[in-house]
Chain A
Amino acid sequence: MTAPPGTLLSVRGLWKSFGTGGGWGRPARRVAAVADVSFDVPAGKTLALVGESGSGKSTIARLVLQLLRPDAGAVSFDGLDWLGLPRAELNRQRRKVGVVFQDPASSLNPRMTVEEIVSEPLLVHRIGTASERRERVVRLLAAVGLPAAALDKRPGEFSGGQRQRIGIARALATEPRFVVLDEPVSALDVSVRAQVLNLLLDLQEGTPSRPAYLFIGHDLGVVRAVAERTAVLYLGKVVEEGPTAELFAAPRHPYTALLLASQPGRRDGASLARRRVAGEPASAAALPPGCPFHPRCPSARPECRREEPTETVEPSGRRFRCFVPEASTGNFSPSST
């Protein structure tokens, strides 16, 4: 798998396992939270990582941000070997990367003023003079829809949606080329969610650095609104990846199909039938042999229980790991064609 031209971030064969259990007479074990994950994020575009709890999506974010070291794999960013950079160079390069977390209440220091919060990355990277920094903060606040009067206030004085705007302003302060958005709207009210999603779309278009987004989420509706491409994760593996619209209109992996059928409000017969067979997900600590999805899969065959499917890549660039893929014509979901 070679990265197509225009790729900003390229992840290949990423692995990360954690130790678990042990003590109290139980043997310690290694659990693979991320297993052989590969994807590309094109410059200025958005890739969504979608999955349920335990899928490894947040671990991938932390690996890409170098908040964790992977056990194996390669990450190239802007043509650099991102994992092999010497410490000083990595710190210099970090200004090209921003991050927005799910819960602005816990990711913003409550004792700092908005100006201190948003200008902190500028100080760390020694960007601008004091007055230039202040000017940039005012500009950033305006870009995220906050008045200059917010400068001297603290996070506690703002609503959840406004706090997330502050977090976005901070993430964009160094004019990054790449921003990790880890469930950025999941903690927000429905009516505020659309505002913040629109803001993220506008900023991608309107910020001079045209940041690419790695959007981590679980809400397929949200993902459909923001991401050109989507990778679906199940128990640490990318089970399907492709253009968002195609993937949702005609999923090839049965897990993607189950996610779509489970959307609340989907009451058509095919969706209800698919939901009925799906039990609880296995845990990454007790992976079944073969395909990790086979115990919940309506199309599972004997080989799925023995052998793990390798990746199939279609000419269109869609890829999936499944011996028995869904029909490619999209007969599953007539409503979304």
Chain B
Amino acid sequence: MGDADPPLLSVRGLSVAFPGPAGDVLAVEEVSFDVGRGEVVALVGESGSGKTLTGLALARLVPEPGRIAAGTVRFEGVDVGSLGERDLSRLRGGAIGYVFQEPSTALDPVRTIGSELVAVLRRHRGLGRREARAEALSWLRRVALPGAEERLRDLPHRMSGGMRQRAMLALALAGGPRLLVADEPTTALDVTIQAQVLGLLASLREELDLAVLLVTHDLGVVREVAGRALVMYAGHLVEEGPAEDVLAAPAHPYTRGLLASLPSGEDAAPGRRLPALEGSVPEPDARPPGCSFAPRCPDAFARCRTEAPGWYAVPGASGTRRAACFLREGDAP
């Protein structure tokens, strides 16, 4: 994490809190990471890991009654926490674009795709009406929406799920983002359509030199598109490294268990039991002391149950590779 050339996005000690009956509950706890220009970083986790809230917190979009309780987010060197409402709304949908899992909840049901696109282009790019109309069409063509011209006048419900997700991508990209936060962008899509949308995302990312924070639960999707992977469990980052290394040689027992329990493993055969992780993710208000993963960890020892592990460097081929696990203590170079 060099200081000379600041990364596009730098998150330090980010915590997100929700009020609970017995005081604040931290849904995200002291999360730190960077995203470089043009980099594709996957934020991987199961439900309750805090991955979606982390993505939302980048543009201060944490839903009420949640709030950012600690930490800083710097985007292009600017502290996002210091921005006023005006600058924040310019940032959202502008320099930081968002794509969500279910486009039908994010698209206005009574507005045509064309008018949504024109509004984004005028607001974030300062285009006149005529220019905006022309560019709206070009965006729908760039996301390979079939029948782009007629689609401009279509309401979201007239389109298939795959088409809506393409339209949503066009909306996010039309604002001219440097960072795209894509939260489970293909989870609601059929697998053949998912492959197309991921392929489209990859080619547009390259063309626009766009950084992507891909929030997902699907390790296959991570393998498909990500350069770097951040693994979250119960509100904490537990592992970070080049996606290929993390998937090939996971350093945290949680990542290892997650990978092993995938039924797509090469030796999967009908009737053969899968190596499963026991238990489930603890609720934010019921996290154990020490390492949150300790109760499910096959390798946990006494210290894991009393003390939360810090980061340990993991030897690897390239890039920052680290894991929050006492077992990695001895690995330090």
Answer yes or no: do A and B interact: yes
- A197 CB–B CB distance under 8 Å: yes
- B82 CB–A CB distance under 8 Å: no
Complex contact A262–B217 (CB within 8 A): no
Stretch from A77-85, A99-107, A272-280 at the B interface:
A272-280
- Shortest Cβ distance from B204 into chain A, in angstroms? 15
The interface residues of chain B lying within 8 Å CB-to-CB of A276 are: 199
The interface residues of chain B lying within 8 Å CB-to-CB of A198 are: 273-274, 276
Cα distance, A197 to B261, chains bound together (Å):
10
- B91 CB–A CB distance under 8 Å: no
Within 8 A of B (CB), among A221-236: 221-222, 224-228
- A302 CB–B CB distance under 8 Å: no
Complex contact A189–B217 (CB within 8 A): yes
- A290 CB–B CB distance under 8 Å: no
The interface residues of chain A lying within 8 Å CB-to-CB of B199 are: 272, 275-276
- Shortest Cβ distance from A300 into chain B, in angstroms? 16
The interface residues of chain B lying within 8 Å CB-to-CB of A53 are: 161, 190
- B277 CB–A CB distance under 8 Å: yes
- B263 CB–A CB distance under 8 Å: yes
The number of residues on chain B lying at the interface, defined by a beta carbon within 8 Å of a beta carbon of chain A, is 45
- B195 CB–A CB distance under 8 Å: yes
Within 8 A of A (CB), among B207-225: 217-221, 223-224
The interface residues of chain B lying within 8 Å CB-to-CB of A218 are: 190-191
Residue of A nearest to B269 (CB): A245
Cα distance, A272 to B198, chains bound together (Å):
11
Complex contact B280–A159 (CB within 8 A): yes
The interface residues of chain B lying within 8 Å CB-to-CB of A52 are: 190-193
The interface residues of chain A lying within 8 Å CB-to-CB of B224 are: 264-267
Q: A259-B191, A264-B223 are contacts. A221–B275 as well, Cβ < 8 Å? A: no
Complex contact B281–A225 (CB within 8 A): no
Contact for B193 among A46, A201, A263, A280, CB less than 8 A: A280
Complex contact B270–A194 (CB within 8 A): no
The interface residues of chain B lying within 8 Å CB-to-CB of A197 are: 263, 274, 276
Cα distance, A270 to B305, chains bound together (Å):
48
Q: A264-B194, A264-B221 are contacts. A201–B264 as well, Cβ < 8 Å? A: no
Contact for B264 among A159, A262, A263, CB less than 8 A: A263
- A149 CB–B CB distance under 8 Å: no
Contact for A191 among B161, B258, B271, CB less than 8 A: B258
The interface residues of chain B lying within 8 Å CB-to-CB of A304 are: none
Complex contact B270–A280 (CB within 8 A): no
Cα distance, A259 to B195, chains bound together (Å):
10
Complex contact A264–B195 (CB within 8 A): yes
The interface residues of chain A lying within 8 Å CB-to-CB of B194 are: 262, 264
Cα distance, A95 to B266, chains bound together (Å):
38
- A1 CB–B CB distance under 8 Å: no
The interface residues of chain A lying within 8 Å CB-to-CB of B273 are: 198, 201-202
- A195 CB–B CB distance under 8 Å: yes
- B146 CB–A CB distance under 8 Å: yes
The 8 A CB mask of B241-272 against A (1 = contact, 0 = none) is: 00000000000000001100111111011111
The 8 A CB mask of A180-224 against B (1 = contact, 0 = none) is: 000000000111111101100110000000000000001111101
Contact for B278 among A195, A258, A280, CB less than 8 A: A195
Residue of A nearest to B274 (CB): A194
Complex contact B274–A280 (CB within 8 A): no
Within 8 A of A (CB), among B153-172: 160-163
Residue of A nearest to B282 (CB): A159
Contact for B271 among A159, A201, A267, CB less than 8 A: A201
The 8 A CB mask of A144-169 against B (1 = contact, 0 = none) is: 00000000000000011110000000
Complex contact B276–A189 (CB within 8 A): no
The interface residues of chain A lying within 8 Å CB-to-CB of B270 are: 46, 224-228, 244-245
- B89 CB–A CB distance under 8 Å: no
The interface residues of chain A lying within 8 Å CB-to-CB of B320 are: none
Q: Count chain A CB atoms within 10 A of each CB in B195, B219, B261, B273 and give the residue with the most.
A: B195
Within 8 A of B (CB), among A282-320: none
Contact for A278 among B161, B196, B280, CB less than 8 A: B196
Residue of B nearest to A229 (CB): B270
Binding site for B on A (CB under 8 A): 46, 52-53, 159-162, 189-195, 197-198, 201-202, 218-222, 224-228, 244-245, 258-259, 261-267, 272, 275-276, 278-281, 335-336
Binding site for A on B (CB under 8 A): 46-47, 146, 160-163, 190-196, 198-199, 217-221, 223-224, 257-258, 261-266, 268-278, 280-281, 296
28 A–B contacts, CB within 8 A, in A order: A52-B191, A159-B280, A160-B280, A189-B47, A189-B280, A189-B281, A190-B258, A191-B261, A191-B280, A191-B281, A194-B276, A194-B277, A197-B276, A220-B191, A221-B265, A225-B268, A259-B191, A261-B195, A265-B224, A267-B223, A267-B224, A278-B192, A278-B196, A279-B146, A280-B160, A280-B162, A280-B163, A335-B266
Q: A225-B272, A280-B163 are in contact. List 14 more A-B contacts (CB 8 A).
A: A189-B47, A190-B219, A191-B258, A191-B261, A191-B296, A192-B277, A192-B280, A224-B264, A224-B269, A245-B270, A262-B191, A264-B194, A264-B218, A278-B192
